[in-house]
Amino acid sequence: MTRIAVVEGDGIGHEVIPVAQKVLAVLHPEYEYFPVEVGYGRWEQTGCPCADRDIAELKTADAVLFGAVTTPPMKDYQSVILRIRKALDLYANLRPVKGDGFDIMIVRENTEGLYSGIEEIGPDRATTLRVVTRAGTERIVRAAIRLAQQRQGKLTIGHKANVLKSDVFFRDICMAEAKKAGVSYNEKFIDALGLDVLQHPQAYDVIVTTNIFGDILSDVASYLVGGLGLVPSANIGDRYALFEPVHGSAPDIAGKNRANPIAALRSAAMLVSHLGDPDGAVRIESAIQQVLASGTRTRDLGGSAGTREFGDAVLRVLGTQG
């Protein structure tokens, strides 16, 4: 049986994930769904945001549907999502940004770079080690190349090699792999790329970049489609896969039925596609489009629908699709 671990996490995760789970249950009632509770809320109650047994449970699932977790900026608090990405070796973070006339896939390295976790705070100096390995770069660029080959065949390498030696290393490996695979590629400094993606989104197909640059670039690119409430992501490794919105726990709107569930719904669409049901993904997306076209929108898109109302409208459309 296909087993899905459902992690609401914190904040609006408690609102958008139930919407996505209901839609999944309509498309795949035969899946088994089981909750795993991790995050800041869990830390507040128990002093532990994510235990070894939670990681072990996640590893028993065929896929994880994940909301978002709050990571307080405290010296000794370890980010739960970073821990999960590392523990499950989810090295490729795929963040599609798709709209009228453009279809971009941001491929973010997800396990090293500036999120290496190797850091210290001293009385007068704090350091974080930016780690770029050959193995880590080869596997992320190969994943990006495979995607480019299935799409428009264009690869853009985002880096800051003019300043960072670790990015000279990253860029050179990416270029060598692209050449070897015969994929057409270009390279751009990440800061210029941030602006160019907004000005000429149609010029991009697959963008591969290091961890923090991909994190920032995808938030920036979400502007093209209406903001963070709309952009999903897949975290893929060789064995495990986790699907989550690009957005965080949004404490400013949490508990108010105001969060846009589209990013979570699209993450669910990526999940079913990953598990071999691309038609299910198309059904979710066309239901979203139909609800938007009917004028039902959440507040971030200028409407007045709540999270639940939007989700119910999507469920109604899926129901009428038979």
Note the residues at the interface with ligand NAD (CB under 6 A): 12, 16, 68-71, 81, 228-229, 244, 247-253, 259-260, 263, 300
28 phi, psi to nearest 5 deg: -135, 70
Nearest-CB residue to ligand NAD? 248
Active site residue 115: yes
Least separation in angstroms between residue 235's CB and ligand NAD is 9
- Residue (122 or 302) nearer to ligand NAD, CB: 302
Least separation in angstroms between residue 230's CB and ligand NAD is 8
Distance CA 256, CA 54 (A): 28
Active site residue 10: no
The residue written with tokens 């028993």 in the block is: 60
Please tell me which residue in 40, 115, 204, 240 is annotated as part of the active site.
Answer: 115
Please tell me which residue in 10, 54, 205, 215 is annotated as part of the active site.
Answer: 215
Active site residue 191: yes
Least separation in angstroms between residue 31's CB and ligand NAD is 23
- Residue (201 or 232) nearer to ligand NAD, CB: 232
Please tell me which residue in 91, 160, 167, 240 is annotated as part of the active site.
Answer: 160
- Residue (142 or 308) nearer to ligand NAD, CB: 308
Least separation in angstroms between residue 97's CB and ligand NAD is 15
- Residue (183 or 264) nearer to ligand NAD, CB: 264
Please tell me which residue in 89, 191, 196, 300 is annotated as part of the active site.
Answer: 191
- Residue (155 or 232) nearer to ligand NAD, CB: 232
Q: Which residues are designated catalytic?
A: 115, 160, 191, 215, 219
